[in-house]
Chain A
């Protein structure tokens, strides 16, 4: 990267370190932090959306929809994450290719499954094998987002389902007494009030999601843990300009600091959100801070 790095053998101390830390490999490592943060930034809202959908479906009075929502929550929560990440993603990828194959190559006469092989016509490949490597990486990233969102969506659905039930019944009854329809009660009373009950559970989920990001490598996305392992492994002088011993400990220490810092910042932000949401709500957290607020009480004071 720098001109002075052309001949690393002559360098020592800080200038060696500076050159070492700016090799192409290290830049890929730093880039992987961006990948992880981007994944979290996209997955969290999508998972919340899945969760909201799942919770609403599970509450539905239309039985098949309710079964669907409850089934989603039960099945996805019950399957071990790692099995889900190994099996589901390959199945999803092959499912997409199978659908494309059916649509694009109707006159294909060979079987799709040949022994162990999964064969679709070249036009049905997703992404096409002629596409550049970055297209494959972007596709892999979106598969990862979808899988994470699906898994964490099921947990979020369970949290939201519980939170919707925790909204005090008199609130709903009062709304009904004002003549609001079911939809209006849901939109104006239930959803705005449930968040405060959902937040502790959701913040837990967010923490678990942060820690689950190393599962990315299972999905073929080269994440920070992959790079830490690769960069930290022993390097012999034959194959690199920067030979070193087993430095995995330092790289993983760095990851530890990153994850701890990230979860700490998350905690602070979540606390602030909690304070906001419990404003005017009769919860214990609010009692402690501002004392009881009479306005919200349903019964006589």
Chain B
């Protein structure tokens, strides 16, 4: 009888411990949901894409339970620092300007090329009208290049501006433009040279969240080490995509 009580007590204790373990820290992942293949809403209305898979894997490795939230690109940093979600995982390049306001993990996507897409070869990339998504590194680059910058809230609107003739060319991440150019049936083509911008894409965090940053950093490192990150990059960005060494 005594042993029975003891075993029950031990069982109850271990069950309690297991319960405590399963109660993982919840991390809310903020993304834009309009930037395929990085992140987009699939037909079911759920967040999907490269970053969804990377994010879920990072969370699994860091033993966090993750919740996906979409937010406008424009206000994605203000909503992070005011605590509406805990990370930004939205194809956000690591830049010095952003680093002053928020923190980044190490990059989970290598420095990528940006490119111009236009209806024809003979557009003036230095003096014409170039569209880009607002507050992106591409918009900054266009502003510096001397061309007239036309900013849009979403990347899709920036592309649409070229289609309807409002802008001469659109400047965006090449990986975002590639599927659009490919499926446009010759309506849009890549023009000019590719431009390498930024230090790669990392997860954005509040500067005060050093602990979470270390956890995510370690998880990204382990994905780099065992090659699973490269596999995901190849899966979403094609065989020719740039991977980590």
Number of interface residues of A (CB under 8 A): 39
Chain B: minimal CB distance from A96 (Å): 12
The reply on B36 being an interface residue by CB < 8 A is yes
Given contacts A220-B71, A234-B159, contact A117 B81 (CB under 8 A): yes
**Residues of chain B from 137 to 184 with CB closer than 8 A to chain A in the complex:** 154, 156-157, 159-160, 163, 179-180, 182-183
Stretch in contact with the other chain, from B43-51, B115-123, B128-136 = B43-51
Produce 1/0 per residue, A110-145, CB < 8 A to B. Answer: 000011111110000100011011001000000000
Residues of B within 8 A of A133 (CB): 67, 69
Chain B: minimal CB distance from A45 (Å): 29
Question: Is B179 a contact partner of A236 (Cβ separation < 8 A)?
Answer: yes
Question: Is B207 a contact partner of A114 (Cβ separation < 8 A)?
Answer: yes
Interface of A is mostly: loop
Given contacts A25-B45, A116-B81, A118-B82, contact A238 B37 (CB under 8 A): yes
Chain A: minimal CB distance from B213 (Å): 13
**Residues of chain A from 232 to 249 with CB closer than 8 A to chain B in the complex:** 233-234, 236-243, 246, 248
Chain A: minimal CB distance from B134 (Å): 15
A46, B170: Cα distance in complex, Å: 46
Question: Is A94 a contact partner of B43 (Cβ separation < 8 A)?
Answer: no
Question: Is B44 a contact partner of A217 (Cβ separation < 8 A)?
Answer: no
Chain A: minimal CB distance from B148 (Å): 22
Residues of A within 8 A of B71 (CB): 220
The reply on A282 being an interface residue by CB < 8 A is no
Question: Is B81 a contact partner of A118 (Cβ separation < 8 A)?
Answer: yes
Given contacts A130-B26, A239-B37, contact A24 B183 (CB under 8 A): no
A243, B179: Cα distance in complex, Å: 12
Residues of A within 8 A of B102 (CB): 116
Residues of A within 8 A of B34 (CB): 230, 233
A263, B83: Cα distance in complex, Å: 38
Question: Is A24 a contact partner of B179 (Cβ separation < 8 A)?
Answer: no
Produce 1/0 per residue, B73-85, CB < 8 A to A. Answer: 0000011011110
Question: Is B42 a contact partner of A239 (Cβ separation < 8 A)?
Answer: yes
- The number of inter-chain residue pairs (CB within 8 angstroms) is 92
A190, B42: Cα distance in complex, Å: 57
Residues of A within 8 A of B159 (CB): 234
Produce 1/0 per residue, B84-124, CB < 8 A to A. Answer: 10100000000000000110000000000000000000000
Question: Is B207 a contact partner of A238 (Cβ separation < 8 A)?
Answer: no
The reply on A298 being an interface residue by CB < 8 A is no
**Residues of chain B from 192 to 244 with CB closer than 8 A to chain A in the complex:** 206-208
**Residues of chain B from 24 to 54 with CB closer than 8 A to chain A in the complex:** 26-28, 33-34, 36-37, 40-46, 48-49
Residues of A within 8 A of B126 (CB): none
Question: Is B42 a contact partner of A94 (Cβ separation < 8 A)?
Answer: no
The reply on A90 being an interface residue by CB < 8 A is yes
Question: Is A220 a contact partner of B84 (Cβ separation < 8 A)?
Answer: yes
A87, B82: Cα distance in complex, Å: 12
Q: Name the contact of A125 in the complex, choosing from B43, B83, B179, B180 (C-beta under 8 A).
A: B83
Residues of A within 8 A of B163 (CB): 246
The reply on A93 being an interface residue by CB < 8 A is yes
A120, B37: Cα distance in complex, Å: 35
Question: Is B156 a contact partner of A234 (Cβ separation < 8 A)?
Answer: yes
A133, B139: Cα distance in complex, Å: 32
Given contacts A129-B26, A238-B179, A239-B179, contact A116 B207 (CB under 8 A): yes
**9 tightest CB-CB pairs across the interface, nearest first?**
A24-B44, A233-B156, A25-B45, A24-B45, A23-B43, A239-B36, A130-B26, A236-B179, A116-B81
A-B contact pairs, 13 of them (CB 8 A): A23-B43, A24-B43, A24-B45, A115-B207, A116-B207, A120-B83, A129-B28, A136-B69, A222-B70, A233-B160, A236-B182, A239-B42, A246-B160
Contact surface of B with A, Cβ cutoff 8 Å: 26-28, 33-34, 36-37, 40-46, 48-49, 67, 69-72, 78-79, 81-84, 86, 101-102, 154, 156-157, 159-160, 163, 179-180, 182-183, 206-208
